A and B are shown apart, each in its own frame.
Chain A
């Protein structure tokens, strides 16, 4: 989110200025350091410290830029700026101090020499700032563009540019050093000689030139080469930048710079060592003036400043006043010091007090550096070559690994989106090739598998559809069959009803003529049965009994039809079972008496039950009369009542003929008559038990029997304690014998 508030804009501008300034200072510092290598008239410790700072600047800042995981470009820049600012501040603080300390002339000249140092920095810095600002305007526009678009990704690009910077910086610095020192340095020396004011001009000129060149080169490279190159890079909207490349590039740059960094102090140290060697050498031969290099020499000086002996090659110091400032300074100090003064073409002056006299030696660094220069060049070359080789290797690696990997990644992404295998073939001859080959094979397999699966699914679906069709057909057939069955069932029911109705009607019609026979038989007997002969009498009796039988049969048939047609009414009321049983027994007593059968009952507990008393009476009468009829003279019939659990059971027990075992299953069927009683008791419809069972069951009860042929039979009727449910009907039961 970009706030375009005024404060934010001002902050941005300020940040940019600081950015530029620090960059400029950085550059001047680097150049200065390189310079110092060649003209070592500065205290060793300070120069090492300077180099250390240099290292920080060269290595640390880009490293921080590389590593700083910032989402907000502003904060990243701020961070960079603050670091640079710290270093700038350090430089600005220490540079004058350093300048002061490096001056090795008398105090009078100290101030004079301090001013150029103080001037140099702002002068060079200012020029840098100018250059930077001029160039930065276009850069700022670019940065603004970056910020306007997809910020994060564009800043990534910027960071990328900056991380490549160390590599280019290293190259630039080397170039600058080569260009700056070589021609310009010697030119300046030749033209301007040793005058102090020349020093100032020289420094300014050198610094400016160096600054300009490096600045121009840097920004030229950044804008004309780097940026177009950056612009050519693919847009990073969809695909993230491949971190591998960037990381490796940063490593390359840093390595290059590091190698330079290593070479600088090493070279310096070498120079120092060489110089020290030369000077010390001369010093060891005390008292004898000898040459130190082509221009340096040793001599002995008294405390008053009189040169005692001098090298024949060098000039003779005659008096203290004429002693060169740095020599005089060394004498004044009275202690062995090694000072480097740039004023005198990097000359070393060493003074050793030896009692009354001091031993002085001077040596010109440049004389000794002749030996050093090739070494320096070689080191620089090695560093550069090393860097280049490394860079090439990295690039090759990038191309060999990151490239194919990126391709592979792309292909995988495309495949996952389009769901079709895209063959990837990386001809790298290594694991990546294997990986891409395997991947393609796997993708192809997956596709085949998918296709196979789809095919199977469609096959199965077709099969299922067919099976479904068949099932539907079958179910249609089944439905038709069911309809037929229903129809047949209905027809059967209708048929049954018709049958029952017919029997009912026919039986009913029979009753009138049966009544007629009954009454006329009676009339006959009324009018003189005594007049009949025995044969006539017998005939008469047969007629009467046959008629009774017929009436019974018709009644029974009518009862059957009433039950089957569901017209039998069941009207349960709370009744005394004892009473009903007693009544039934009373009814049967005349018959029992006639047959000589003893009729009895067990203890009848007082029991009440919700039953239809008429129906129950008929049932019991039927059972009792059966029992009496099918028991021989002298036998016994007893009725018992028991209440057991949820049922009340009435049992009719006789000591009669029993029912043969093989016929027991048919007892309750229509027109059943036991084979062993048909002779003894011809009268019997065979419908009694069928009706009894039907009635009992209609009342919700159960009937069963136990019988042994020749011993007797017991019929048990069980009725539910909960009572008998009513059933609507229009007819009752007709009496049966």
Chain B
């Protein structure tokens, strides 16, 4: 059973993601900010991270950079979920197709789950 970590500060969205992923048979861990996210990764390394960007305490990009520093966490696949769509942020994040960058409002949640399945399998 694959482990997914969802890092999202909005409770409603967090719950929606947890419910849907759980019903698909994934084990879901939750974090509401970057710091908590890092703690969760340390506790139990996930197979994929769904990462929001705009969060209090530590934002998604910083968390990603922190994960990149450690070889153990470097290769965890990340899907960014955000409503930001500025070029600067996107270019910071999308490196050689390593990460996906999804705009929340554009994605149906079923489609999102399908992508997760794809990315996790690729691991």
Residues of A within 8 A of B (CB): 508, 511-516, 518-520, 522-523, 526-527, 551, 554-555, 569, 729-732, 734-735
Contacts and interface: CB of A to CB of B under 8 A. Distances in A.
Nearest to B111: A522
B88 interface: yes
Contacts of B96: none
Nearest to B23: A526
B10 A522 contact: no
Nearest to B87: A730
A569 B90 CA distance: 14
Interface string B17-58: 101100100000000000000000000000000000000000
Nearest to B103: A734
A523 B105 contact: no
B115 interface: no
Given A516-B12, A519-B20, A523-B20, A569 B87 contact: yes
Interface of B: 10, 12-13, 16-17, 19-20, 23, 83, 85-88, 103-106, 108-110
Contacts of B86: 730-731
A512 B109 contact: no
Contacts of B16: 516, 519-520, 523
Nearest to B89: A730
A734 B12 CA distance: 24
16 contacts: A511-B105, A512-B13, A512-B83, A514-B105, A515-B13, A516-B12, A518-B105, A519-B13, A520-B16, A523-B16, A523-B19, A554-B105, A732-B85, A732-B87, A734-B103, A735-B106
Contacts of B109: 518-519, 522-523
Most buried by B among A526, A554, A729, A735: A526
A513 B12 CA distance: 8
Nearest to A547: B105
A515 B105 contact: yes
B88 A730 contact: yes
Contacts of A527: 23
A526 B104 contact: no
Contacts of A735: 106
B15 to A, nearest CB: 9
Nearest to A517: B12
A554 B83 CA distance: 11
Nearest to A521: B109
Most buried by B among A508, A511, A518, A519: A519
A552 B106 CA distance: 10
Most buried by B among A508, A522, A569, A729: A522
B92 to A, nearest CB: 12
A573 to B, nearest CB: 15
B113 to A, nearest CB: 9
Contact of B110 (A511, A522, A555, A734): A522
A520 B12 contact: yes
A547 to B, nearest CB: 10
A557 B88 CA distance: 21
Given A522-B109, A523-B19, A551-B105, A734 B85 contact: yes
B103 to A, nearest CB: 8
A673 to B, nearest CB: 23
Contacts of B105: 511, 514-515, 518, 551, 554-555
A555 B109 CA distance: 19
A518 B85 contact: no
A522 B108 CA distance: 7
Most buried by A among B88, B105, B109, B110: B105
Contacts of A569: 87
A518 B108 contact: yes
B85 A731 contact: yes
A455 to B, nearest CB: 79
B11 to A, nearest CB: 9
Nearest to A558: B85
B104 A512 contact: yes
Contacts of B108: 518, 522
B53 to A, nearest CB: 12
A527 B23 CA distance: 10
B83 A508 contact: yes
Contacts of B103: 734
Contacts of A730: 86-88
A91 B63 CA distance: 150
Contact of A511 (B20, B87, B104): B104
Contacts of B19: 523
Given A515-B105, A734-B103, 7 more contacts: A516-B10, A519-B17, A523-B20, A523-B109, A526-B20, A729-B87, A730-B86
